[in-house]
Structure 1
Amino acid sequence: MASAEMKGQLRKQRLAVRDAMPSDLRKEKCEAMAALGAATIAALPGAVISGFLPIRSEADIRPLMDVLRGRGARICVPVVLDRETIVFRELNDATVLVPGSFGTLGPSEDAALLEPETLLVPLAAFDAAGQRIGYGGGYYDRAIALLRQKGLARRLIGIAFDCQEVPSVAAEPHDVRLDAILTESGLRIFSPEADVE
């Protein structure tokens, strides 16, 4: 079976498991994730960190983003511009949210464009080596590649529930490996040199 086909099957399976999680259990796991992330993810004043606003059954990390902002970090979230591109717009108390692609809400065009040093990335599945399966559009892979050409995106932290872990992900050349993963069980570091903590 081709790597892309295997990834497609794993994506579908893990998202189905995530979708089936009862809402009260998801809320409990999100609260644990936010507390553990707040205790382990460093945020220096002025650091630019990308998070995300949850859609469907994704983990809700807004409380974690609030903690990081409270420590002086500038928080941004991805906004889809077209079929190929996402940019990162600042999210703060004054940000106006407008409807975006894929049923999302995101900062309006008035929000500042930022280039994150750390990205908190939603995903469909991950393995113990830090390989991830995204949603299939390649948006993050392309954005991370562009940021890294500028010396940015030095920390890539996946955000998922434990139930999204799989035995192995067959990486393709364009795939970007995670430096760490944050789940309701804690922060697991794959690349110590990425200075996640």
Structure 2
Amino acid sequence: MRKPPAVYAAPASPRSPLPSAALDTTLWALPSELDHPQADRRALRRLLRQRRRQLPPAIRLQAEDALLRQLKRLPELLRARHVALYLPYDGEIDATRLCDWLQRRGAKVYLPVLRPFAANSLWFVRYDDQTPLVSNRFGIAEPDTRHGASRVRRLPAWALDVVLMPLVGFDGRGARIGMGGGFYDRSFAFTRRPGPRPLLIGLAHHCQKVPALPVQSWDVPLDAIISDREVVRPARPE
């Protein structure tokens, strides 16, 4: 499969590089005003997005390699035949090299597309070498809406086997925050009810892990969060 086009990634700030020692810490401390359950989620997002953008290229590549090793050992992914992932943006950890591996195993790959005429929800469109890509209103690459409008190129969210989604932050309990638009939460709200559903897996750099994150009632729980260093499987209520 061809390599996806480059998408926007803010450069690291030359005035505030991350010290190499900080990259080896287990958990990065949050400023005191953000280190409590009712912390301002917008401020948390700004801080955590800055962290991942500031990762040096060599560290970013190492993290990508380690993430791929984690994913390729995941039993649920080994069995999956319909897998959604994303094209990285704004420093998100990149799992697109997984596409070729999935296709060699006979799996089909899908990408999220902003659903037209719907409030903050997603389509999932088949992705291959012939898929035309455009930039959406956020500057993120996605399959052209006119291409994805054909039902034969789309799969309902409930019919996917695994969904790999980007995160802004996560903690050891499996709590997470995204970009704030609620696209994945709305698209997968049905997973709270009985019935067919995909496995939902968040992907992130290790530096996006914090001691604790606030959780909102509309946050759709994930089945796992995978970073370049660990697999977090949230405890399920009895």
TM exceeds 0.5?
A: yes
The match for 1:110 among 129, 147, 158 is: 147
Structure 1's unaligned 5+ residue stretches are none
CA shift at 1:189, angstroms? 2.2
Deviates more, 1:85-94 or 1:133-142: 85-94
Q: Distance in 2 between matches of 1:153 and 1:73?
A: 17
Name the % identity: 31
Give secondary structure in 1 for the equivalent of 2:91.
coil
The match for 1:84 among 99, 107, 120 is: 120
Q: Distance in 1 between matches of 2:72 and 2:79?
A: 15
What are the equivalent positions in structure 2 for 1:67-82 lying under 5 Å apart? 67-82=101-116
Q: For the structure 1 residues 35 and 46, does the alpha-carbon distance in structure 2 shift closer, same or farther, using more than 3 Å as the test?
A: closer
Q: Distance in 1 between matches of 2:236 and 2:98?
A: 22
CA shift at 1:65, angstroms? 3.0
Give secondary structure in 1 for the equivalent of 2:163.
strand
Do structure 1's residue 185 and structure 2's residue 229 form an aligned pair?
yes
Which contiguous aligned blocks of 4+ residues in structure 1 show a shift greater than 6 angstroms?
1-4
The match for 1:14 among 31, 48, 57 is: 48
Q: Distance in 1 between matches of 2:105 and 2:236?
A: 23
CA-to-aligned-CA distance 1:78-109 (integer Å, 9 cap, x gap):
11135522111111222221222311111123
TM-score normalized by the length of structure 2: 0.72
Structure 2's unaligned 5+ residue stretches are 1-32
Q: For the structure 1 residues 143 and 69, does the alpha-carbon distance in structure 2 shift closer, same or farther, using more than 3 Å as the test?
A: same
CA RMSD of aligned residues (A): 2.5
What are the equivalent positions in structure 2 for 1:92-171 lying under 5 Å apart? 92-108=128-144, 109-111=146-148, 112-114=153-155, 115=157, 116-146=160-190, 151-171=195-215
CA shift at 1:153, angstroms? 3.6
Q: Distance in 2 between matches of 1:4 and 1:90?
A: 39
Q: Which amino acid aligns with 1:110?
A: H
Q: Distance in 2 between matches of 1:37 and 1:46?
A: 12
Report the equivalent of 1:66: 100
CA shift at 1:187, angstroms? 2.5
**How many residue pairs were aligned?**
193
Given that residues 48 and 208 in structure 2 are in contact (C-alpha distance below 8 angstroms), is that contact kept between their aligned partners in structure 1?
yes
